[in-house]
Amino acid sequence: MIVMKFGGTSVGSGARIAGVAEITAQTMAKTGAPPVIVVSAMSGVTDKLIKAATLASQGDRRAFAQIRDELQAKHEEAIGECVPNAEYARSLKAEISSLLTWFETLCLSIATLGELTARGMDVVSGMGERLSARVVAAALVSHGIKAQMIEATELIVTDNTFGSAVPQFEATTAKCAQRITPLVESGVVPVVTGFIGATEDGIPTTLGRGGSDYSATILGRCLPATEVWIWTDVNGVMTADPRIVPDARTLSHISYAEIAELAFFGAKVLHPKTIQPVVQMGIPIRVLNSFEPQNEGTLVSAVSLEIPIIKGITAIRNLSMVTVTGSGMLGVPGVAGRVFGAVARSGASALMITQSSSEQNICFVVKTSEANAVVKSVEKEFELEMAHHDVDTVKNQDQVAIIAVVGAGATGNPDIAGQVFTALAASSINIISIAQGSTDYNYNLSIVVSQSSADDAVRAIHSRFQLDQI
Ligand code: ADP
Ligand code: ASP
Ligand code: MG
């Protein structure tokens, strides 16, 4: 069984959704069995839903009404393009309208209460997938394919960490066996809403922005699937974001470890948690272009190839570097443990950590949105030491980015770091901090630079390793 996920641009219009039906028909012809389809919201829809709920919580009662109209029009236009049967199209539009009425009711209560909880946000932000999945299922049926829309709230069981819920695989496996397997066995294509799930008690949750990729691998593991195919708007995983490096190349293969690293450090092509559910079972992932389905795409699997040495360069932005400095930290055991205990208590996690050899300072990088809370928490932890000047300052520097240079082939290669630093120096880019991690099967050199030089840094390193020529 194959799970295929279509991203926002791949379902971004009626014509694109008709393309999804065509790809599904071709896949069925090739594999002789119905795939399980996972869909994102139409591009831009989730942003609008979040905006509507946020403005409603600030008392704005007009924005959500206007957004409702825009979403109704967007989906009706798509239906017009991919569901030719007038009667079918009419009933589908009515279904979309009743979901949007529910969206308006939710926003009205948010505006009335003047409060938006994480739980409420998940109900609203997950509606885009509930709209698009209905249209995709109808387009499949219009294409002569037996299909049925299924809400992931009936399938993916999660905890109640609203906004980035954690899947519970055992419960999800049981639901998949009940709901999905019989459908597929009877020749029906299930069209599942990406991004969303529900707690055991049925309370809706979301898996985090960009989480439909994660939905696909969660289902891939629980069914289980033989492969998971992620259909997007580029030819696969590339050596860098093509929006930053126009001559970036598509990789024919990348390992789980490498893509996990690239995704964590900003390669938006896959959600950072996508790999987790399938690594253990070794289920391969293919990243494919729905605009050019004939291309081979990228195969993601456990195999670690050493060529090219560097697989990719990414940048993650909107970060802050926090530095804890003090001569009294020298040789005192447990300081780092206390620092990161305080970071954890603030609810943040450090993306990168460095410590100078004299032990007089510890630097780490967190999201800027979390930096103030982190600094306060660390200051509180070291209140006594700060009063005695054993710890002098806890400072944060905003507007930084981490550049990550990733590739299994660089492990044990003494030349890589030197080349990266030469490339940055030649472009007059100042390095704020460095960390390197290397295992038998992966390598990551992470460099903190000012956010304003992040794009130049990615381009300089990409060009130094001639990644446009692989
Ligand atoms: P989808 O809606 O299909 O999930 P996304 O916008 O989430 O698509 O992800 C695809 C985008 O990821 C591409 O259009 C590209 O700009 C961006 N991207 C960033 N880094 C990379 C990379 N290393 N390889 C490919 N695409 C990347
Ligand atoms: N629609 C959701 C988002 O925009 C999930 C996804 O597209 O993967 O974040
Ligand atoms: Mg995505």
pLDDT in tens, the chain (470 residues): 999 999 999 999 999 999 999 999 999 999 999 999 999 999 999 999 999 999 999 999 999 999 999 999 999 999 999 999 999 999 999 999 999 999 999 999 999 999 999 999 999 999 999 999 999 999 999 999 999 999 999 999 999 999 999 999 999 999 999 999 999 999 999 999 999 999 999 999 999 999 999 999 999 999 999 999 999 999 999 999 999 999 999 999 999 999 999 999 999 999 999 999 999 999 999 999 999 999 999 999 999 888 899 999 999 999 999 999 998 888 888 889 999 999 999 999 999 999 877 778 999 999 999 999 999 999 999 999 999 999 999 999 999 999 999 999 999 888 999 999 999 999 999 999 999 998 888 899 999 999 999 999 999 999 999 999 97
Measure Cα distances from 49 to 65, 82, 94, 219 in Å.
11, 24, 19, 25
Q: Which of 385, 419, 199 is nearest to 309 (CA)?
A: 419
Q: Which amino acid is at 28?
A: M
> Can you give the pLDDT at residue 439?
85
Distance between Cα 273 and ligand 1 center (Å)? 15
> Can you give the pLDDT at residue 41?
98
> Can you give the pLDDT at residue 356?
78
> Can you give the pLDDT at residue 412?
86
CA torsion angle 112 114 120 121 (round to 10): 120
Distance between Cα 339 and ligand 1 center (Å)? 35
Contact partners, residue 324, CB within 8 Å, separation at least 6 = 339, 361, 362, 363, 378, 382, 391, 393, 394
> Can you give the pLDDT at residue 327?
87
Print the SS3 string covering 241-252. CCCCCCCCCECC
Q: Which fold has domain 2-233?
A: Carbamate kinase (3.40.1160)
> Which ligand lies nearest the alpha carbon of 313?
1
Q: Give CATH superfamily name and number for 312-469.
A: VC0802-like (3.30.2130.10)
> Can you give the pLDDT at residue 149?
98
Q: Where are the alpha helices (DSSP H) in 180-255?
A: 181-185, 212-222
How many Å apart are CA 275 and CA 454, to the nearest integer? 26
Closest residue by CA, ligand 2 atom 2: 210
How many Å apart are CA 59 and CA 122, to the nearest integer? 19
CATH 3.40.1160.10 domain span(s) along the chain: 2-233
Ligand 1, closest atom to CA 210? Answer: 7
> Which ligand lies nearest the alpha carbon of 206?
2
Ligand 1, closest atom to CA 242? Answer: 16
Contact partners, residue 384, CB within 8 Å, separation at least 6 = none
What's phi and psi for 410, nearest 5 deg? -85, -15
Distance between Cα 8 and ligand 2 center (Å)? 7
CATH 3.30.2130.10 domain span(s) along the chain: 312-469
Name the 3-class secondary structure at 277.
Answer: helix
Does ligand 2 have an atom closer than 6 angstroms to the CB of 40?
yes
Does ligand 2 have an atom closer than 6 angstroms to the CB of 194?
yes
How many Å apart are CA 429 and CA 448, to the nearest integer? 10
Q: Which of 202, 207, 128, 193 is nearest to 162 (CA)?
A: 207
> Can you give the pLDDT at residue 330?
80
> Can you give the pLDDT at residue 418?
95
Distance between Cα 270 and ligand 1 center (Å)? 7
Pocket test for ligand 2, best of 46, 193, 215, 217 (most atoms within 8 A of CB): 46
Does ligand 2 have an atom closer than 6 angstroms to the CB of 217?
no
Name the 3-class secondary structure at 307.
Answer: coil
Q: Which two tokens stand for residue 122?
A: 């998940």
Q: Which amino acid is at 92?
A: L
> Can you give the pLDDT at residue 103?
98
Does ligand 2 have an atom closer than 6 angstroms to the CB of 128?
yes
